[in-house]
Structure 1
Amino acid sequence: MAKIIRIHPDNPQENLIDEVVKTLNSGGLIIYPSDTVYALGCNIFDIRAMERLAAIKKLKLAKAQFSIICNDLGHLSTFTRPIDTPVFRFLKSKIPGPFTFILEAGKSLPLAYKGNKTVGIRVPDHMIPQMIVEKLGHPIASTSVKDEDEVIEYSTDPELIAEKFDHLVDIVIDSGFGDNVASTIIDLTTGEPEIIRQGKGEL
């Protein structure tokens, strides 16, 4: 049964963030708020947690395309190939924000991402995921709770989210109602920004 933890969106309680990080380190799954929709997340280096995350989405892990949630661009060199200066400047001008950036995958990816040619990098403009990643010491793998192309009530209400995912995740963070518009996906693999999906973020 999922534990609901109420964390203030603008002034997150450190002891509660620590509890979330402890759960992630022990292989747990969380649902957390972002600057767009609520999302599912797990420890990017825990293969069993990654498999649980894929199972919720009814996917084989090898087919899953989970975003990598960072708190800044400091982890790019670990997860992506070297980035040209203009692309780096573009990224810096858009983060934190409601964007997911598709970049060429690096060679030091976690096991669950091995074989991927590209990765999706995201830095949400929200204190809670930023603090989680900072305290965890590395990014988390993530996918939205929103059904594709469908706006549904439960995806914005943390209490309804907790009911739906009650036996699938370990913690649901409640920081109030979320948005129902996902992030804008931008492909940067060619060096020129190409919008793959228009979401909340405007170029």
Structure 2
Amino acid sequence: MLTRVVKVNPIQPERTLIAEAAEVIVKGGLVAFPTETVYGLGANAFNDDAVRKIFAVKNRPPDNPLIVHISDLEMIHRVALDVPEKAWKLIEKAWPGPLTVILKKRREVPKAVTGGLDTVAVRLPGHPVAIELIETAGTPIAAPSANLSGRPSPITAEHVIKDLWGKIDMIIDGGETFFGVESTVVNVLHDPPVLLRPGPVGVEEIEAIIGEKIVVPEWARGYAEQTVPESPGMKYRHYSPVTPIILVEAYPGNREGMIRKIKEIAKEEKKRRKIVVITSSENNKLYEEEGIRTVVIGSAKNLYEVARNLYRVLREIDELEVDIAISESFDEKGIGLAIMNRLRKASTLILKV
């Protein structure tokens, strides 16, 4: 298959180019497109055959649900039933934006989209290209991240090209994504609501909007898998580079202990293997002074910067051709929980200090 790449203005996308991409969607093809989180791989959410192509192209397990993207609030009624009051509270405050809600699905939504479940994950993205594409196609678009399953998600069109070139019809290049990690997913059908996947919209923000505490299971923090996934990112290994990662987790207030442990591991591993340390900008010199190779992921004081750089760094360490990477950990407040969820799922070993 010849994959076509079209570059668009991310703020005011050219309508003729978006119309061409929308036509691909309408005809049952696959289009990779930018959102404010990561690049998505889209198909007509009501076209069962097109949706199944997504799973085939990505080598994605069939029980791993997809998120259905809509372009306005009216479109929610085409895919979901009986939207509860708590969902509307979140929708009114957080949409368009990086929040996905789990709702009861309409029977028109193929089981392939929902992993066989009677619920559907729905989001109204906060990106002009995504909204214009959905609107022009005239249909909700089912879309996971536009990468091979298990690999770090794509934040640029180049990442999509590397993983899916020759496998999909079109890639819309809208530049780098803003948040760099996937949307927050919350199931408001449970009482109390349950966080299924952390993302840019933090737990604290969700609780403030709905006026109650939500459940944050251990598997939502990245420590385990959920047997029956209700949303993407809950089961199977995700976000992983080929290079093994050792994640050194610091208990609150023990950053110095984390640095000491990383130095200790790095010095020992350097004797027999090529290593790199994934570090915050604040700690970079502490490793470099001892001859330890590093990749800076961003400032520990600006977790949005760390999130934006996360998948780029996970892809970069493979290009460095090292044998092992050792990563620092980060505060779990706000988007920090999403960062730690991704790092835990990407790691082959987690050490706590």
TM-score (norm 2): 0.52
The Cα of 1:6 is off from its aligned counterpart by 0.4
CA deviation string 1:24-71 (max 9, x = no partner)? 11221111000101111111222221111011232464x241110001
1:68, 1:120 within 8 Å by CA — same for their partners in 2? yes
Unaligned runs of 5+ in 1: none
1:72, 1:123 within 8 Å by CA — same for their partners in 2? yes
* Number of matched pairs: 200
In 2, Cα distance between equivalents of 1:149 and 1:164? 11
In 1, Cα distance between equivalents of 2:191 and 2:148? 30
In 2, Cα distance between equivalents of 1:169 and 1:75? 26
CA deviation string 1:89-120 (max 9, x = no partner)? 32221101111111122333246448522110
| Alignment-mate amino acid for residue 125 of structure 1 | G
Could you say which residue in structure 1 is the equivalent of 2:222? none
The Cα of 1:88 is off from its aligned counterpart by 1.6
2:31, 2:168 within 8 Å by CA — same for their partners in 1? yes
Seen in structure 2, the aligned counterparts of structure 1 residues 147 and 31 have a Cα distance that, compared at 3 Å, is same
In 2, Cα distance between equivalents of 1:193 and 1:34? 25
In 2, Cα distance between equivalents of 1:90 and 1:50? 27
Could you say which residue in structure 2 is the equivalent of 1:166? 165
| Alignment-mate amino acid for residue 177 of structure 1 | E
Could you say which residue in structure 2 is the equivalent of 1:198? 198
Query: RMSD value over aligned CA atoms?
Result: 2.2
Does structure 1 residue 176 correspond to structure 2 residue 166?
A: no
Could you say which residue in structure 1 is the equivalent of 2:208? none
In 1, Cα distance between equivalents of 2:86 and 2:182? 26
Could you say which residue in structure 1 is the equivalent of 2:17? 16
- Higher RCO, 1 vs 2 (CA within 8 Å, ≥6 residues apart): 1
In 2, Cα distance between equivalents of 1:145 and 1:53? 9
Could you say which residue in structure 1 is the equivalent of 2:46? 45
Which structure has the greater CA radius of gyration?
A: 2
In 2, Cα distance between equivalents of 1:88 and 1:117? 20
Q: Which moved more, 1:64-73 or 1:15-24?
A: 64-73
2:113, 2:142 within 8 Å by CA — same for their partners in 1? no
SS class of match (2:9): coil
Could you say which residue in structure 1 is the equivalent of 2:250? none
* Alignment map for 1:102-113 (pairs within 5 Å): 102-110=102-110, 112-113=112-113
Seen in structure 2, the aligned counterparts of structure 1 residues 92 and 35 have a Cα distance that, compared at 3 Å, is same
SS class of match (1:74): helix
Does structure 1 residue 89 correspond to structure 2 residue 85?
A: no
| Alignment-mate amino acid for residue 131 of structure 1 | E
Seen in structure 2, the aligned counterparts of structure 1 residues 70 and 98 have a Cα distance that, compared at 3 Å, is same
CA deviation string 1:114-158 (max 9, x = no partner)? 852211001110001101111111201100135778647xx2231
Could you say which residue in structure 1 is the equivalent of 2:74? 74
SS class of match (1:103): strand
The Cα of 1:173 is off from its aligned counterpart by 0.8
The Cα of 1:86 is off from its aligned counterpart by 4.0
In 2, Cα distance between equivalents of 1:91 and 1:28? 29
1:87, 1:191 within 8 Å by CA — same for their partners in 2? no
Unaligned runs of 5+ in 2: 206-353
In 2, Cα distance between equivalents of 1:106 and 1:191? 21
In 2, Cα distance between equivalents of 1:19 and 1:148? 27
In 2, Cα distance between equivalents of 1:116 and 1:29? 23
SS class of match (1:31): strand
SS class of match (1:200): coil
In 2, Cα distance between equivalents of 1:197 and 1:93? 19
In 2, Cα distance between equivalents of 1:90 and 1:100? 9
